[in-house]
A = this chain, B = another copy of it.
């Protein structure tokens, strides 16, 4: 039996989740959210997360320079802390590198790590360097969030409005352009994605019910919120924000922009839900309403051309490869 036969990445996570035992009362949230949430002090939780970039899967040296790889390694972890409403603080960076790699390459990769660490005031407190055939960059990150501001995937309530930040699908269209040796503004969104940390902090201060960052496309992330919150959702296709530049880039390769917004990954934008009475306050920021939370029995549906359709799953590493 292969991993794709049990539902890919997420099927495997469920399988693992059912087998582990927990030995501490200090766990507020474990497997199933963007970061682990651990008890810390009277007012704050500790957030604990890790993410790995693997060569020829998450990046290719054909497209990314070493600085961009270092930048992305920090941004993707920072994005997980953002989705909890927190602030990143301490990171460990592990590098696995081929024997023949130039020191100059490592210097540049680390200058990307340092640039983003400085931006977010993250202190690199350790890590490892080891040998491998392909390049691997693994970051573990500790952050903190005030208890009152913690945003989980599991907090969505029936009647909540579903919001998102920024625009969707640009990163995955950017990757398609690179593959086809074409140019376009979406490419930068793929190579240099940015976490929405400061926006996330503003949102949790207004008061939201649930949040997630976009690793694997809108469809996948809405599904995670629904599964963890035990609710359903309706998403309006015509409300999903797609930039003019992305539409233009999608035309170059005869692709449907909406497919990439729904099922493409790595935009690092936020999807969150909040009570209707927060709409006015939240709309002051760079966010848009894209749907609403409904009872679980209604499922997870997309309204497109006045028709309801089921939303498919998002990106899955074991079903198709990223680069």
Contacts and interface: CB of A to CB of B under 8 A. Distances in A.
Interface of A: 1-6, 9, 12-13, 15-16, 19-24, 26-27, 30-31, 33, 35-36, 38, 41, 48-52, 54, 56-58, 89-90, 92, 94, 96-97, 99-104, 106-107, 110-111, 114, 117-118, 121-134, 136, 138, 140, 142, 317-318, 321-322
A125 B31 CA distance: 5
Contacts of A35: 126
A2 B90 contact: no
A317 B128 CA distance: 11
A31 B132 CA distance: 22
Given A36-B92, A133-B133, 17 more contacts: A3-B101, A16-B110, A20-B110, A22-B124, A23-B123, A31-B125, A36-B90, A48-B90, A48-B125, A49-B126, A50-B126, A50-B127, A54-B96, A54-B132, A94-B138, A134-B134, A136-B138
Q: Which 6 A-B pairs have the closest CB atoms?
A: A140-B140, A36-B125, A131-B317, A23-B121, A30-B125, A54-B132
Contacts of A24: 89-90, 121, 123
A9 to B, nearest CB: 5
Nearest to A125: B36
Contact of A1 (B36, B102, B114): B102
Nearest to A32: B126
Binding site secondary structure of chain A: mixed
B125 A38 contact: yes
Most chain B CB inside 10 Å of its own CB: which residue of A92, A118, A142: A92
B38 A90 contact: yes
Contact of A2 (B36, B49, B103): B103
Nearest to A316: B131
A130 B97 CA distance: 18
A130 B21 contact: no
25 contacts: A1-B104, A2-B102, A2-B103, A3-B103, A9-B129, A9-B130, A12-B129, A19-B110, A20-B123, A21-B114, A23-B118, A26-B89, A38-B90, A38-B142, A50-B92, A50-B127, A51-B128, A52-B96, A52-B130, A54-B136, A57-B131, A99-B318, A99-B321, A130-B317, A132-B134
A12 to B, nearest CB: 5
A16 B95 CA distance: 12
A142 B322 CA distance: 31
Given A123-B30, A138-B52, A21 B117 contact: yes
A50 B140 contact: yes
